[in-house]
Amino acid sequence: MTTKFEALLEKIYTIHDLEKALMLLSWDRETNMPPKGDTARIDQMTTLRRLAHEMFVTDEMGELIATAVAEQANAPYDSNEASQLRYLQRHYADQRKLTPDYVKRSSEVSGQARPAWVQARAESNFALFQPWLEQVVELCQELAELYGYEDDPYDALLDKYEPNMKTAEVRAIFDAVKKESIPLRQAIAANADAVDDAPVHQPFAIDQQKQFVRAITAAIGYDYDRGHLGTVVHPFATSFTRDDARITTRWYPDFLNPALFGGLHEAGHAMYEQGTHPDLYRTPLARGTSLGIHESQSRMMENIVGRSRGFWEAHYPSLQALFPEQLNRYRVEDFYRAVNKVQPSFIRVEADELTYNFHIILRFELEQALLNGDLAVKDLPTAWNDKMQELLGVTPPNDAQGCLQDVHWSRPGFGYFPTYALGNLYAAQFYETAVAQNPTIATAMAQGQTTALVAWLRENIHQHGRKFTPGELVQRVTGQPLSHHAFVRYVTAKFSDIYRL
């Protein structure tokens, strides 16, 4: 006899498959689709998005969830059943607040705004993107009202990416990060000549870059039997199942960092998805629990692993073998220091570990100003440049390297950006806990080996998928709520050593 919970899951499987088909269309659009296919692809994606939404928000689905909750009333809190139902209750309530008309308009505007952003960025012409961003801001304002909020409209949007977190909490954490990071950045600036990043700014053949990125992403634990490496303008990862989690990066012929660290970053995302428990297959729980937790996994692989001394002592000889003319004159210590150079930059995804958070704080503050109507879209380029000067001491030479650099504002995704910096803080807190619980992780890392660390992540984070909220997960794993302290300890120790402070 089929239980109420099993009947509910059959419906969820169907919706899940529609959503994954939508993601596959999106993946293809970013990686392979010819430019003239865009109009039809927007229609196709809008149809699937509308169908998935309509199927999920029916009265029948609400009744199925309610009866399954009653049936599973005694299920342990940590069980798959109780966790699925907690998530579905929350998600159903949220999705019921969205009208079919809003879902359709949001998909259409996002679909058309993206190619406008691509052109505007290529031409460094904000005016081409401005009318689309104005529509996106209006959609975000409408979305905040549809979801509802108590204190701040930004809360309604942030909650969809980092459940249960409030804007005031993020602001307090970011203020603490600024207070602690600025003196360290200033001390480093006074000793800037201590590090030379010339080793990574040379001609590097792209075919050899691809060979090396594939090798090092596999070395940290990304499974290519269940993965794929693609090329895009703006790197991302996507997952269709734990057995099909794909990554992308971009290749510069004269700068090594974007390919290396973009690949490691996206591999961290995909490894999280590859590590979800098989029992969560075809359900909403077979994903990372929040974008902040997800970002903790990518930033950990990109920075804590990929920019560590031990990592390059292990892998630098292989890189030298591929690029002997460029690298044989540099020692591994030279290369390690080069990839850790702290220097205010224009581009977020190429920022160093220390200054990266300032790029996110800038976007967090601008999103709130746009959402609240305190900043007009037409004034965004100037406001962006002013904040870059305030936070990083640099002014972008053009809008392509300024307010047009990210794809995120081509869709109503306000609330997303803070999760990038939260990910840095989660990563440091998780890593500090992992080493405290298993000191052999640090010993292995000093030799460039990640097996012990990945095993700890699989056990404590990956396998659970979305079973717990981010607040619950960080408390369960580290014994305390998220804070900035572990991150400050990490960057202070690392950069004091590199810059001899």
What does pLDDT average to over the chain? 95
Which residues are annotated as catalytic?
266
Mean pLDDT for 69-88 is 96
Question: Length of the chain, please?
Answer: 501
Condensed to tens digits (0 to 9), the pLDDT of residues 158-186 reads 999 999 999 999 999 999 999 999 899 99
Tell me the C-alpha to C-alpha distance, in Å, between residue 61 and each of 53, 90, 97, 155.
Answer: 11, 13, 15, 27
248 Cβ contact list (under 8 Å, min separation 6): 30, 31, 229, 230, 231, 232, 235, 236, 237, 262, 266
Condensed to tens digits (0 to 9), the pLDDT of residues 33-61 reads 998 998 899 899 999 999 999 999 999 99
Please tell me the predicted confidence (pLDDT) of residue 101: 92
Condensed to tens digits (0 to 9), the pLDDT of residues 203-248 reads 999 999 999 999 999 999 999 999 999 998 878 999 999 999 999 9
Asked whether the predicted pLDDT for residue 300 surpasses 70, the reply is yes
In 297-376, the DSSP E strands lie at: none
Please tell me the predicted confidence (pLDDT) of residue 2: 79
Condensed to tens digits (0 to 9), the pLDDT of residues 2-25 reads 799 999 999 999 999 999 999 999
Please tell me the predicted confidence (pLDDT) of residue 254: 97
C-alpha span between 220 and 238 (Å, rounded):
18
Please tell me the predicted confidence (pLDDT) of residue 349: 82
Please tell me the predicted confidence (pLDDT) of residue 1: 63
Asked whether the predicted pLDDT for residue 76 surpasses 70, the reply is yes
Asked whether the predicted pLDDT for residue 151 surpasses 80, the reply is yes
Please tell me the predicted confidence (pLDDT) of residue 264: 97
Type of residue found at 386: D
pTM value is: 0.93
Asked whether the predicted pLDDT for residue 501 surpasses 90, the reply is no
Condensed to tens digits (0 to 9), the pLDDT of residues 333-370 reads 999 999 999 999 999 988 999 999 999 999 999 999 99
Mean pLDDT for 307-329 is 98
In the chain, domain spans: 4-153, 167-192+200-498
- Fold designation for 167-192+200-498: Neurolysin; domain 3 (1.10.1370)
